[in-house]
């Protein structure tokens, strides 16, 4: 019976253990991010009625505009999933195509959000205007920062995959990116529901 040399077995085991530690560390990070967003949601809920000196949610939010943001992000999550399926099938060009579309949709979402923030700043509705605006801008802005991080991650990782191929390590990194992106999509669904839909209904 032919067996692998001990040195090769040790190297293989080392890589597997390294992969497991990376994945575990990433999930721990996501759990801490869940705690951060949970705290920001709690702060927003407490402060959303504190609008003295500032506008209410229904006075600053254009719901059809926010729905366009939401559609862009939901579509980007779908194309990201298609990109992962293509990666697992070894279809390099499809991976590049789907993640390029994901990046464009994510950048569109971020651009719409920044435009909304610029409009609020121009009207003098900043963080210090009221408790509600502090909670609102911090929650939505923190999510936007995460989206920007995800876009930078794509810009860095996709060229590496194009040069080096769909190696085991690159496939793992791409999968972690996908999980991160889907996580942000889920957080936005909560923001859209709690901040915009429920906030507008309570106004």
Give the residue extent of every domain in the chain.
63-127+139-192
Which tens digit of pLDDT belongs to each residue from 139-161? Answer: 999 999 999 999 999 999 999 99
Instruction: Say which DSSP state 197 is in.
Output: I
Whole-model pTM? 0.87
In CATH terms, the fold of domain 63-127+139-192 is: 1.20.120
Residue tagged 């996580």 (tokens): 183
- Can you give the pLDDT at residue 192? 94
Q: How confident is the model at residue 14 (pLDDT cuts 50, 70, 90)?
A: very low
Instruction: Say which DSSP state 166 is in.
Output: S
Tokens representing 154? 């794509």
Which tens digit of pLDDT belongs to each residue from 74-118? Answer: 999 999 999 999 999 999 999 999 999 999 999 999 999 999 999
Q: What residues contact 182, with CB distance under 8 A and at least 6 apart?
A: 77, 80, 81
Number of H helices, E strands in the chain: 7, 0
């Amino acid at each position: 019976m032919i067996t692998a040399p001990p040195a090769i077995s040790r190297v293989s085991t080392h890589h597997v253990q390294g992969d497991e530690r990376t994945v575990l560390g990433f999930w721990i990070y996501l759990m801490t991010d869940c705690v951060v967003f949970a705290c920001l949601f709690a702060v927003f809920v407490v402060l959303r009625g504190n609008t003295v000196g500032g506008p209410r949610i229904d006075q600053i939010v254009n719901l059809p505009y926010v729905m366009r943001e939401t559609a862009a992000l939901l579509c980007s999550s779908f194309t990201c999933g298609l990109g992962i399926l293509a990666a697992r099938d070894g279809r390099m060009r499809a991976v590049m195509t789907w993640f390029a579309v994901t990046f464009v949709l994510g950048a569109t979402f971020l651009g719409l959000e920044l435009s909304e923030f610029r409009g609020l700043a121009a009207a003098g509705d900043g963080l210090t205007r009221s408790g509600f605006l502090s909670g609102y801008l911090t929650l939505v802005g923190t999510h936007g920062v995460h989206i920007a991080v995800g876009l930078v991650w794509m810009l860095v990782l996709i060229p590496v995959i194009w040069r080096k191929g769909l190696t085991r390590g690159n496939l793992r990194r791409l999968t972690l990116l996908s999980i991160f992106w889907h996580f942000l999509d889920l957080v936005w669904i909560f923001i859209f529901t709690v901040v915009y839909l429920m906030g507008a209904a309570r106004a």
